[in-house]
Structure 1
Amino acid sequence: MTDANGLFGLAVDTVRLMQIPGLVPSLLVVGVGYPDAEAVIDTVEIRARDLTPTPSSHFPGSGHADAFIEFVSSELRPWLAGRFPNAVGDATYFGHSLGGLFGAYTLLTASSTFDRYIVSSPSLWWDGEVIFDIERERADTDRLRSEVFFGIGSLETDAGRRREALNLAEGHPAKPPPVHLDMVDDIRRFAAQLAARSDPTLQISRVEIVDEFHATVPGVVLNRALRSFYSTTEEDREI
């Protein structure tokens, strides 16, 4: 998982609780974060560097997702194999927001990096929705050979994100700008575009979590995805 500075504790505790009734097998949770950051807000610039596929003038230094994929493949996976050799043969990725964008990009360009992808509230708006163009460019040639779970909060619409930020003062950097942004519509269109490939090696699930915001949904998406991937019952696999 990416964004470990903010989400690692949530992911570990989710897995621990789900293991008690046997909803998931034994799992090693690996979080990639930034040890020099004192708070989550301090990771904004560096995560934009690592998790985005193309540079944006609004985020100096962004657009180095390919280098981050190379780090995962060439450094992180061998490091893990040396310490936990039984845990690296079957890997699931979990990323939220820009981390979700990174998951979508890795799926399209280096799908074998992971066996499964949990794509939570992905920032598909990045750089004029460039991820849609990347998918179209590769749609006729690549077999993705992956399971993908797309999840998002039903309140991640344009109106919903403004409602989410009502308690923030005007001028706060996290206050949504006037630009229209509907992440729910984005994820619907992207999942449909992927499904149109008719790729027999690709399994897609998508869920919209009722009454959840961008900031409140990642834990719900994670547990729904893990149940979908690992459950032995048809009901859980279809949630």
Structure 2
Amino acid sequence: MSTMISATSPVLLPDTEAFDLAPASHGAGGAARGWRIFRSIPRGPAPEDGFPVIYMLDANAGFASFHEAMARAARRPSATGVSEAVIVGIGYREGEDIRTRRAFDFTAGPSREAAPAHPERASLHGGRDAFLGFIETTLKPAIAARVAVDPARQTLFGHSLAGWFTLDVMTRVPAAFAAYVAVSPSIWWDEARLMEGLAGMEGLARTKGPPPRLALMVGEWEEALAPWQADRPEAAEMAARRAQRAMVARARAFAAQAAVTLGPAARVRFDRMAGEDHASILPAAMTRALRFALEQGHGRAAFP
């Protein structure tokens, strides 16, 4: 006999928790309001060195899917290459203007597209330093206080504009994370800054310690119209915008340059994922991202 439940009863996500967190000293922008943090809770004891941690941006849009992908794959690590890890999602509270806040948090300034035509929008962007400071000085210690973590196996994962932030952190503060996964990164937002940062990493391979590992993934249909979009009224506008932003070409070129800059010991991977567009790629990329984040050791660049 089935049991009736209220139509408003929420569906709970097992082995997770959520809490709000803000820096002790509030800065400009969204820091005073803080962030909604989502965390997966490991089901077993921590390894001797602690759990690997994957920090996921835009958590409101994908934490549940990412957590479930990890939980499912970790049941058979020998088959999937995915072991138990802690996923930390960084998002925003209900009722907040997520689009506005993420555009501030993930950027160092306005996009190269908009800056000349809309100088009045400059104040809507540029929160990158404060956001990274929150991650490094407030969030990471808070997670370490809740669960044993391996500081040498931490990954930053971002999609779209959060992917731009992920690449920017790697090129400017490479030691912040051991691995970086950028899915459909909006390199067009400020490609010049990313390339400047990448050039500044020259010689990193000659310093002590391994270079950061990098994976870039982009959908087949991010630079041209997908077959199911060809008949839409706005198809011509979409096609022009995608051609201008050149998501696939820019991601491929960035990965190739990163492989050269970081040297032969680096692990750099580029995947052009067949059949995916900017929206559909996110769940499809999650298991690949987990496998890359949790693999041990380093290898040569891979461009399948």
What letter corresponds to residue 175 of structure 2 in structure 1? Answer: S
Measured in 1, the distance between the counterparts of 2:192 and 2:101 equals 21
Q: Write the deviation string for residues 184-216 of structure 1: whole angstroms up to 9, x where unpaired.
A: 011011111212225245310111110100000
Query: Could you tell me which residue of structure 1 aligns to residue 161 of structure 2?
Result: 98
Query: Could you tell me which residue of structure 2 aligns to residue 43 of structure 1?
Result: 98
Measured in 2, the distance between the counterparts of 1:3 and 1:185 equals 24
Measured in 2, the distance between the counterparts of 1:34 and 1:169 equals 34
Query: Could you tell me which residue of structure 1 aligns to residue 107 of structure 2?
Result: 52
For 1:95-174, what aligned pairs fall within 5 Å after superposition? 95-127=158-190, 129-136=192-199, 138-143=200-205, 145-157=211-223, 159-160=224-225
Contact 1:118 1:222 survives alignment (8 Å): no
Q: Write the deviation string for residues 71-130 of structure 1: whole angstroms up to 9, x where unpaired.
A: 111010111111113355521111100111111011111111111111101000013643
Q: 1:142 to 1:226 in 2, by over 3 A?
A: same
Q: 1:146 to 1:101 in 2, by over 3 A?
A: same
What letter corresponds to residue 32 of structure 1 in structure 2? Answer: I
* TM, length-normalised to structure 2: 0.66
* Residues matched between the structures, number: 226
Structure 1 residue 26, shift from structure 2 partner: 1.2
Contact 2:202 2:262 survives alignment (8 Å): no
Unaligned regions of 5+ residues in structure 2, if any? 1-55
Q: 1:128 to 1:225 in 2, by over 3 A?
A: closer
User: Higher strand proportion, which one?
Assistant: 2
| 249, 256, 280: which one aligns with 1:192 | 256
| 78, 86, 90: which one aligns with 1:28 | 86
Contact 2:107 2:128 survives alignment (8 Å): yes
1:85 counterpart = 2:151: no
Query: Could you tell me which residue of structure 1 aligns to residue 276 of structure 2?
Result: 212
What letter corresponds to residue 82 of structure 1 in structure 2? Answer: A
SS, match of residue 95 in structure 1: strand
SS, match of residue 35 in structure 1: coil
What letter corresponds to residue 183 of structure 2 in structure 1? Answer: S
Query: Could you tell me which residue of structure 1 aligns to residue 61 of structure 2?
Result: 6
Measured in 1, the distance between the counterparts of 2:76 and 2:60 equals 28
Contact 2:108 2:128 survives alignment (8 Å): yes
Unaligned regions of 5+ residues in structure 1, if any? none
Query: Could you tell me which residue of structure 2 aligns to residue 16 of structure 1?
Result: 71
What letter corresponds to residue 73 of structure 2 in structure 1? Answer: M
Q: 1:117 to 1:33 in 2, by over 3 A?
A: same
SS, match of residue 69 in structure 2: helix
Q: 1:230 to 1:135 in 2, by over 3 A?
A: closer
What letter corresponds to residue 146 of structure 1 in structure 2? Answer: P
Q: Write the deviation string for residues 154-210 of structure 1: whole angstroms up to 9, x where unpaired.
A: 1111x237x67668765xxxx748442220011011111212225245310111110
Q: 1:37 to 1:176 in 2, by over 3 A?
A: farther
Q: CA RMSD in A?
A: 2.8
Larger radius of gyration: 2
Contact 2:225 2:239 survives alignment (8 Å): no
Contact 1:77 1:88 survives alignment (8 Å): no
Q: 1:7 to 1:164 in 2, by over 3 A?
A: farther
User: Higher helix proportion, which one?
Assistant: 1
Q: 1:55 to 1:81 in 2, by over 3 A?
A: same
The percent of aligned pairs where both chains have the same amino acid is 28
